[in-house]
Structure 1
Amino acid sequence: MANGKGAAGFQDHFSGHATEYREHRPRYPDALFQIIAAHAPGHAAVWDCGCGNGQASVGLARHFGTVYATDASARQIEAAEQHPRVVYSVAPAEHSGLPDASVDAVLVAQALHWFDVERFYDEVERVARRGALFLAVAYRLARISAEIDPIIERFHDVTLGAWWPADRAHIDTGYQGIPRRFPEVELPPVVMEAEWTLDQLLAYLGTWSSVQRMRTSLGIDPLPALREELLPVWGEPDTVRLVRWPLVMMAGRVG
């Protein structure tokens, strides 16, 4: 499915490269799922909304009896990692199809900025049990080193600036522009990390919606030029470097 509005009316920026998304996106640390479990009133069920290919769903399954994982993209669900306690379904965030008062926590990982937020909050109030934890997380630009970070920032802001979907800007502001509905819950900070070579980093950057849109619209792949710019400061391409993403976390208590 092409970028933009999909057949179901949702903003679909990732179906066209669902397999690459699964293979090259970083994994959330188990510390995130431990925190969710520690602050949820129970562990019977959790809803992973906008689950994509299940990167957070499988992690949640280590702490909850059932993970309801929904995404509006059928192609993302088809590419999802299977787990006996994860129940995948194709559904928009605002109409999940889940039973009333059925989950102890709701997680939205790297997806809240694509939703009709107020209608989604209505659905959260319907699906969540009283006192359930609501948590939206997102990650901004990777942090690697003082020499590398400015190059990636320039690539993000200048090279790709015109190709980012407008709603993606909410991540850059740390979700400050998204309305809150649920009483705030303070959670400890979490950092997502990966140890990558240069080409692993570039494969991840290739999953960005802006890169996909630029390739589709102009027939230009901006990654080879970025690789040449990064090589002098990265060193040998197979050098492994620590990549870090501090998570933006917006947590609340439902009901």
Structure 2
Amino acid sequence: MKDNFSNQASEYSKFRPTYPPELIEHIVSFTEKRENALDVATGNGQVAQQLSDYFETVYATDISENQLLHAKQILNVIYKKLPAEKTDFEDKQFDLITVAQAVHWFDFDIFYPEIYRILKPNGIFAIIGYGLFKTNPNTDKIVEDFYYNIVGPFWDAERKYLDENYQTIPFPFEELETLNFENKFTWSYEQLIGYLETWSAVEHYKAHNNQNPLDLIREDLKTSWETSEKEVTFQMLLRLGKLKV
């Protein structure tokens, strides 16, 4: 698994969107027991913290110590620095395992056997994500040009899985039918820019060109944003599965 986000841990915790409570509730509704949950590649612990309302114990792992340092401390959430593909958990330990906005970074050939090892036979595996947000037409045009053309060459190859709505990732599970969800926010201009700053392609562009690519669109973006309703919508991606027997 790549670590693209340690350098942005503070901004990540401040500007990355949270997940809709109704989405988390929907995922949890599929579980038979609610003893142990695991959030893999937890980042700053967003999903783990939401799961803590439902499970006796929630484990949350990440390879970035810096990300974990920005996670909120909750009594029944245990953070551990571990790679997704190789954990130290017991066989058949978890009722639910979640991965939010991260599964595309994993080595599937190693990761999925690990899920089969640590997930209970009747447990649930959930992949959560979101792609490019939508907002007003003028801002969409600026952001899409930024996404595809300005920083487009600097996205890691794995980003394609998000562009393809997680429909092309390997998914060796008995897939369950789910509802559709979206995430809506009203953002200030600072929140919009702050979120764009967390993109891994922005970091790669900076490293390659010694320049912040957001400087190329900052003024146009501000003009379009200040004259809009400032609403942002993310279509949520969700795939749920059980172990194949």
TMscore range, shorter length = over 0.9
Other structure's SS at 2:89 match:
coil
Q: In the alignment, what sits opposite 1:15?
A: 6
Q: In the alignment, what sits opposite 1:250?
A: 239
Deviation at 1:132, TM superposition (A): 0.9
Instruction: Name which of 193, 214, 222 aligns with 2:184.
Output: 193
Q: In the alignment, what sits opposite 2:204?
A: 213
Deviation at 1:75, TM superposition (A): 1.5
Q: TM-score normalized by structure 2? A: 0.95
Asked if structure 2 preserves the Cα contact closer than 8 Å seen for 1:53 and 1:77, the reply is yes
CA distance in 2, matches of 1:203, 1:27: 14
CA distance in 1, matches of 2:115, 2:65: 21
* Count of residue correspondences: 244
CA distance in 1, matches of 2:127, 2:153: 26
Q: In the alignment, what sits opposite 2:48?
A: 57
Q: In the alignment, what sits opposite 1:35?
A: 26
Q: Is 2:174 aligned against 1:174? A: no
Q: In the alignment, what sits opposite 2:135?
A: 144
Q: Which contiguous aligned blocks of 4+ residues in structure 1 show a shift greater than 6 angstroms? A: none
CA distance in 2, matches of 1:75, 1:251: 29
Q: In the alignment, what sits opposite 1:46?
A: 37
Deviation at 1:18, TM superposition (A): 0.9
What percentage of aligned pairs have identical amino acids?
Answer: 34
Gaps of 5+ in 1: 1-9
Q: In the alignment, what sits opposite 2:77?
A: 86
Instruction: Name which of 65, 74, 78 aligns with 1:74.
Output: 65
Q: TM-score normalized by structure 1? A: 0.92
Deviation at 1:176, TM superposition (A): 2.5
Q: Which amino acid aligns with 1:253?
A: K
CA distance in 2, matches of 1:219, 1:152: 21
Gaps of 5+ in 2: none
Let me know the Cα RMSD of the aligned residues: 1.4
CA distance in 1, matches of 2:214, 2:72: 27
Deviation at 1:240, TM superposition (A): 6.2
**For each residue in 1:99-139, what CA deviation from the matched residue of structure 2 results, as whole angstroms up to 9, or x when unmatched?**
11111111100000000112111111111111111111111
Other structure's SS at 2:202 match:
helix
Q: In the alignment, what sits opposite 1:6?
A: none
Instruction: Name which of 90, 96, 100 aligns with 1:109.
Output: 100
CA distance in 2, matches of 1:192, 1:122: 31
